[in-house]
Amino acid sequence: MQPQVASERGGIACTERSRSEVAHVLEKLGNKIENLGLNTWQLRTLSAVRRCRTAALGGHIDACDNCGKISISYNSCRNRHCPKCQGKNRDDWIQARQNELLPVPYFHVVFTLPDSINSLAMHDPRLVYNILFESAWETLKTFGKAKEIQTGMIAVLHTWGQNLSLHPHLHCIVPGGGVDKNGIWKNIRGDGKFLFPVKALSKVFRAKYCEKLKERSPDNYTKVKKQLWEKQWVVFAKKPFGSPKSVVEYLGRYTHKIAISNNRIQSIDNQNVTFTYKDYRQNGFKKQMT
C-alpha cells in the first residue's frame, strides 16, 4: 500500500515513496548506530526517523482527495529532525508569524562563524551558539542606534552546510528600518532598498563575538584568538523581500529545514551514501558527494 502525504487542501493524496531516504541509511546501519558514540537524545532521534511511517508506529485511516480511496497509512514520528515530518510544522509556524510582521521592507541577513571556532562548537555548542545569537542581535542594534531607531529580527540557527560539514550560521529576517524615540516608523533609507554596509557589520559582529567569548571562556578564547582576528568574518545581506507574506514563507524554509532531505540522496549501498549538494563557492553549482 502506498504511503500517504498531505495535499495542499489539507487532505490526503496518494504519492510514490522516495527511492532513497535517510531512514534507509539508518536501516543499513542497523544496530551499528549504538556503537557510534552518540548520546541518548541523538539515539532517540535516529530511532524515530528510522521508524517513521512504518508499522512500528502504528497507523490510521486516510481518504484520498483525488480518487476517494480509503486506505491505511502509517503514523509519523513528528520528530524535529525527520525529513518527512516538517511540512505541517512549517505551515503552522508560518501562520503564527503572519501577524507579527509589518508592511515594510525586509532583508535576509546571514551571520556566519569562521571555521576556526568549529572545534569549540563541537565541545560546547551552548556557549558558541548563545554568543552567536547575542552578538548578531547586538550588532544590528548598534547600527540601528546610529540611525536613532530600534530595529528587530527573527533568527534561525543552522549548524551545517550543504555538504553536511559543520558550518554554524544564523539566518535572520530584519526590517529595513525601525521606530524612533517617538514610536514613529523610519526606513533606514527612503527607498527601503538598503540595510547596513556588510563590511562594517562583519567587523562589529566579530568584535562583539570575540569580546563575549573572552569574557565567558577566556581559556578557549586564548586558544583561537589569533585565528579569529586574522580572518575576515562574513555577514551577508540579500535584497528586500516583496511582501510580508513572502518573508515568512522564505524563512519558513529555514525554520524547519533539516541537514539533508530525502530527495538529495541518490544512492545507498552497504558502505556509502551518495547525495547532491550545492557548492556556493561556485554560485550554487550542484555536485555529488559520496
Hey, what long-range contacts does 187-194 have (CB within 8 A, 24 or more apart)?
Answer: 187/104, 187/105, 188/147, 188/149, 192/104, 192/105, 192/240, 193/105, 193/239, 193/240
Q: Average pLDDT, whole number, for the chain?
A: 84
How large is the average pLDDT for residues 128-146? 96
* pLDDT over threshold 80, residue 153: yes
Predicted model pTM: 0.78
pLDDT value at 12 more than 60: no
The C-alpha atoms of residue 203 and residue 206 are separated, in whole angstroms, by: 5
User: Coil, strand or helix: which one is 148?
Assistant: coil
- Per-residue pLDDT at 112 exceeds 50: yes
pLDDT score of 57:
84
Q: Evaluate if residue 111 carries a pLDDT over 60.
A: yes
User: What local confidence, expressed as pLDDT, does residue 5 receive?
Assistant: 36
Which of the two residues, 164 and 254, has the higher pLDDT score?
164
Q: Which helix (H) or strand (E) holds 47?
A: helix 40-51
Under the banding of pLDDT at 50, 70 and 90, the label for residue 192 is low
Higher pLDDT, 273 or 223: 223
Cβ neighbors of 84 (< 8 A, separation 6 or more) are 21, 52, 53, 76, 262
Q: Mapped to the 3 state alphabet, what secondary structure does 271-285 carry?
A: CCEEEEEEEHHHCCE
Residue 3 or 263, more confident:
263
Residue 265, CB-side half-sphere exposure with 13 Å CA sphere: 19
Amino acid identity of residue 25, one-letter, is: V
- The predicted pLDDT at position 145 comes to 94
User: Lowest mean pLDDT: which of 4-13, 38-47, 270-279?
Assistant: 4-13
What pLDDT, on a 0 to 100 scale, did the predictor assign at position 119? 93
DSSP assignment of 71-139 equals: EEEEPP---TT-TTS-HHHHHHHHHHHHTT--SS-EEEEEEE--GGGHHHHHH-HHHHHHHHHHHHHHH
Ordered strands of the 234-237 beta sheet? 154-160, 166-175, 106-112, 234-237
Asked if pLDDT for residue 148 goes beyond 70, the answer is yes
Q: How many CB atoms lie within 10 A of CB 147?
A: 16
* pLDDT value for 190: 62
Is the distance from CB of 273 to CB of 260 less than 8 angstroms? no
- Percent of the chain exceeding pLDDT 70 equals 92
Is residue 115's pLDDT more than 70?
A: yes
Per-residue confidence band for 60, with pLDDT thresholds at 50, 70 and 90:
confident
Alpha-carbon gap, residue 32 to 209, rounded angstroms: 39
Question: What domains are defined for the chain?
Answer: 4-95 (no CATH), 102-257 (3.30.70)
C-alpha cell of residue 180: 524612533
Q: Is the pLDDT of residue 236 over 60?
A: yes
pLDDT confidence bin for 191, thresholds 50/70/90: low
pLDDT tens string 257-280 = 777 888 888 888 877 888 888 887
Measured between alpha carbons, how far is residue 5 from residues 8, 54, 84 in Å? 10, 14, 9
For residue 235, give the C-alpha cell: 555577514
Given a cut of 50, is residue 15 above it in pLDDT?
A: no
CA nearest 171: which of 145, 136, 209? 136
Q: What is the model's pLDDT at position 14?
A: 40
Residue 220 has pLDDT above 50, yes or no: yes
